[in-house]
Amino acid sequence: MHDIVPLVAFLALFIGIGALIALFGRWERRQANKWTIEAEGTFDRVEHRRYRRSYWSGMMLPAIVHGIAEITIIHLQDGRSFSVDGHIEPVVPQGAPVRLLRNGLGGLKLESLA
């Protein structure tokens, strides 16, 4: 009897961790597929910027890690601008009507309305 108790506890812990991982994956997929309209307007231009970023590592010995991050800034003709991490090349010409969509994970998508 006492030999089974640690095995049952280990199995319960293993099943609990597996359930949490499955729930997190399901939440992440749902957020990635939930697109909301951020803005509609006339496309003006795109800027790409790189900057040096420093952050603390998560290892046992703390260290400062340096890296290069890139952001893309999408400008509309009415003066509004939106930024997104990474490098996005526009697929629409300047002056075209566009819609900016953002998902639950912060991703941005630029689509043409014409």
Beta bridge mates, 98: 41, 112
pTM of this prediction exceeds 0.75 = no
pLDDT tier for residue 98 given thresholds of 50, 70 and 90: very high
* Exposed e or buried b per residue across 54-85, where buried means at least 16 C-beta atoms within 10 angstroms of its C-beta: eeeeeeeeeeeeeeeeeebebbbeeeeeeebe
Taking only the tens place, the pLDDT of each residue in 31-90 is: 888 889 988 999 999 999 988 877 776 666 666 677 788 988 999 999 999 888 888 888
β-pair type (36-56, 97-102): antiparallel
Are the C-beta atoms of 107 and 52 separated by less than 8 Å?
Answer: no
